[in-house]
Structure 1
Amino acid sequence: MVRLEELNDDVNENNVKKTSGSQPEDGDLEDLYDRAVARGGFSDKSFEEALSDLSKTPLFMTSLDDAGNEDNVVLEALKALQYEGTRSEAAQNFKEQGNECVQERKWSDAKEFYTKGIAVLTNKVDEVKWDKPEDPVEEDKRSTLLLEQLHSNRARCNLELKNYRSTTLDCSSVLKINPHNVKAHYRSASALFALDKVYEALDVCYRGLKLDQDNQVMKVLLEKIQKRSRVKEEQDRKRKDELDRKRREKLTLVAAIRARNITVRFSRKGAPEMADAELRLVPDPLSPESTLEFPTMFLYPTHNQSDFIKAFSEKDAIYQHLSYMLPLPWDAKGEYKVSTVECYMDTISGGMVKLGKKVSLLEILSNDKVEVLDGMVRIYVVPPGGQWLQEVKRKRNK
């Protein structure tokens, strides 16, 4: 294994011996370029072209604007490096910096260092020339171990930052490398639990405890997940029972409508929004012998007015509802009286049928001529005389 030696803290640029005095000015750079050209160093490139080429090399880069998004992480990582080395040495450096941030609970900073370390090990950039390792086999082993540790450490940072999905992705990367990593199981289970993916969290937690049966932290987490699982199972059971009840109620309602020979049709627009008003059986929605109730709209077409009845029982007659709605507050002429108004419904064939005000709603709806459209009964109420009906017939014939 390659041994790394760190520079002392007091080592800085002033301690490094310079070979040519002070830093050359721009004019000096041109002189150096001319000498290089004379030696054949830059072929026939101009001074500006040579500088442009240098600026594209990672260690001399001044801008990342033209670099691809995927490579930017690697290039940023290289810019932060202060020494040359192998990939694993560079990754180790970022890992140690990340660990220092973790000790100070600087989770975002630590995550960035671990991300750079991962980028160094996994991204391939042609411009990057790493030192050749003394032992390639050992270098590969070390890189694999570092990649596992970097993903595991970044998973912890993401967990602390509540980036739960990212946590699970990092843990997945760890487990692909080392399926026996207990920390990855714990962090993945914690993230899944936070996302309320209880059954997935249980599975991961059980797998982790198989690897380390005495892991107390994992046992505490498992207890929390099991408690939530029991609550969720009860909620799921109630939800299933509710859905099953509604399904049986719907089947019972359909059977009751068919038994009464009532035609109900739903258009493409579907049923209008009526809050909790709906076609239903009362008092027991699971008994076809219960009474049908219909949401009903009383329309006054000659005055563009309407009244809505939430529950019109099949046993009720029209006059029973007109008796408490009339007289109407906007009927200045007193045209709408229970004894004189006329009531109509649309027929299935497209015509109109006059309704008896003392006939039950069930008798009206079961005569094969009318239908209940989109779950609502519509009754037209007009003053006597027949003028409105004649106008409707004229318009329809036209």
Structure 2
Amino acid sequence: MASSTEQNDSDDGMDEFMDKFKTQRYKNAFSEDSWEEEFNKVPMFMKTAPEELDPKKYPELACLQAIIHDEDRPPEEQAKSLKDEGNAFFKEKNYQKAILSYTAGLKKKCDDQDLNTVLLTNRAAAHFHLGNMRSALNDAAAAKKIKPDHLKALIRGAQCCIELRNFSEAIQWCDEGLKAHPTDKKLQELRAAADKHKRAAERDARKAKVKEKKLHGEKEALLAAVKDRDIKLFQSAKPRQRGSDSEDEDEGSSAAISQLSLDGLSSQEVTGAQVFLDEQGSLHWPVFFFYPEHQQSDFISAFSENSCFIDHLAVMFGEELPPWDTDRKYRPQNLQLYFEDEEETLYQVNPETSLLKALQHKRFFVRAGILSFFVLVKDSSFRKQFLTGKKIQEL
């Protein structure tokens, strides 16, 4: 037991220290201006881990890192430390670094299968939050292989399958999980959601199939109507086969003429309109009228095959003429129509002719589902100039 003299000496020393502490500033204290920054360097009080670990700037944290990654410790201890490190990154929502820590823990190949399962399920969670559903599913499957009844692995696997729209597989994950955990609400909710999505997807698939079948039927009917009318479709030229001894070419053989393909009828992407067959069995075509003298044009999205050209010309050039016709020449009775074949020969069309009759001409080929006609003013100087040097035939 200390003597009264020693006790007095101790008290005197403490009194002296306290007196000195009151009069002198503590040299190792945090500064008033940067105390929060300094405080955040202490591992216990860090809100976030630094992006780059500088041992001089973060000596305490560097010491802890050295302990975590000490290769001399048993693999189980190292793996557990790396799991804890990954969990810390996960809480900060730094999922990339969490994945690196969990992966490093798995590389230790420790014999603790429970720990390995946790590392896999935690890494699956990090991948899930990054949107890496396939990687998350692989980790969940690996965890389930180690422990088939591991609840978190089963839940995560089901969630990944739902995100990947593999609803049948999601249901299988849930069913496996509910065998081991029959009362788990999360698995029950996931199974109900997967079943709902599956039924919706199957319903959508049936609707799409019905729609596709309907469209196919409409296309077949359209092609049959074109074929029955002997209308020729102009398609891209096919390369000539080698070894062909024939020098003679049939009429129109420079183009691939087909009555059994929709390629020559596809114009919707270009014009927004496409040939169609109405309920009465009549074809309606998208038609362009070009006025080369004025570099103008008109577009009719649905020109009935049974209508005559004059019917449309009378509407377009009736009482109110277009503003570009300053000479007031484009009267229906003054107009002439022409179409051009693939050899640039012009064929004059009588305005009183129906569209179908023009289409059935042996030199008329439908290009990309669009019909085109030139409109000129008869006896005009531009008409004479435009037709100079061109081959012209009447329909």
Same fold (TM over 0.5): yes
TM-score by length of 2: 0.67
Of 113, 119, 123, the match for 1:150: 119
Are the counterparts in 2 of residues 107 and 160 from structure 1 also a CA contact under 8 Å?
Answer: no
Instruction: Give the CA deviation at 1:107.
Output: 5.6
State the Cα distance separating 1:223 from its structure 2 match. Answer: 0.8
Q: Would the alpha carbon gap of residues 365 and 301 (structure 1) be closer, same or farther in structure 2, given more than 3 Å must change?
A: same
Q: In structure 1, list runs of 5 or more residues that go unmatched.
A: 1-60, 64-76, 124-138, 284-288
Please point out which of 361, 372, 385 is paired with 1:378: 372
- The Cα offsets for residues 196-222 of structure 1, whole Å up to 9 and x where unpaired, read as 333332333233334444433212210
Matched with 2:81 is 93
Q: Is the 8 A contact 1:107 1:161 kept in 2?
A: no
Residue 97 (structure 1) shift: 4.5
> Does residue 1:249 correspond to 2:187, yes or no?
no
Task: Check the 8 A contact 1:347/1:369 in 2, yes or no.
Answer: yes
Answer whether contact 1:186 1:205 (CA < 8 A) is retained. yes
In the other structure, the counterpart of 2:275 is 279
- Counterpart amino acid of 2:111? K
Name the aligned partner's letter for residue 205 of structure 1.
C
- Once the two structures are superposed, the pairs formed by residues 231-250 of structure 1 within 5 Å of their partners are 231-250=200-219
Any conservation in 1 of the 2:95–2:130 contact (CA below 8 Å)? no
Pick closer, same or farther for the CA change 1:111–1:383 going to 2, 3 Å: closer
Separation in 1, partners of 2:187, 2:148: 16
CA separation of 1:151 and 1:216: change in aligned 2, threshold 3 A: same
Match of 2:389 in 1: 394
Q: Within 5 Å, which residues of 2 pair with 1:56-75?
A: none
**1:119 equivalent in structure 2:** 104
Judge conservation of contact 1:98–1:111 (CA < 8 Å) in 2: no
Give the Å deviation of 1:160.
5.1
Bigger shift: residues 177-186 or 343-352 = 177-186
Q: Is the 8 A contact 1:118 1:147 kept in 2?
A: no
Amino acid at match of 2:367: L
Identity %: 27
Identify if the C-alpha distance between structure 1 residues 390 and 162 changes in structure 2 by more than 3 Å, giving closer, same or farther.
Answer: closer
Residues paired across the two proteins, number:
302
Q: For the Cα contact (< 8 Å) 1:90–1:117, is it kept in 2?
A: no
Secondary structure at the aligned position of 1:339 is classed as helix
Please report how far the alpha carbon of residue 382 of structure 1 lies from its aligned counterpart in structure 2 after TM superposition.
0.5
8 Å CA contact retained: 2:99, 2:127: no
The equivalent residue for 2:336 is 342
Structure 2 equivalent of residue 321 of structure 1: 312
Q: Say if 2:133 is the partner of 1:164.
A: yes
1:316: Cα distance to partner? 0.5
Comparing 357-366 and 106-115, the one that deviates more = 106-115
1:136-215 matches, within 5 Å, as 140-142=110-112, 144-159=113-128, 163-215=132-184
Q: Output the CA distance in 1 between the equivalents of 2:274 and 2:131.
A: 44
The SS at the match of 1:200 is: helix
The runs of 5 or more residues in structure 2 that have no matched partner are 1-52, 56-63, 238-262
Distance change in 2, residues 1:186/1:317 (3 Å):
same
In structure 2, the partner of 1:299 is 290
Give CA-to-partner distance per residue, 1:129-188, whole Å, 9 cap, x none.
xxxxxxxxxx8522x442221011222344456553442232133234444434322211
Answer whether contact 1:315 1:360 (CA < 8 A) is retained.
yes
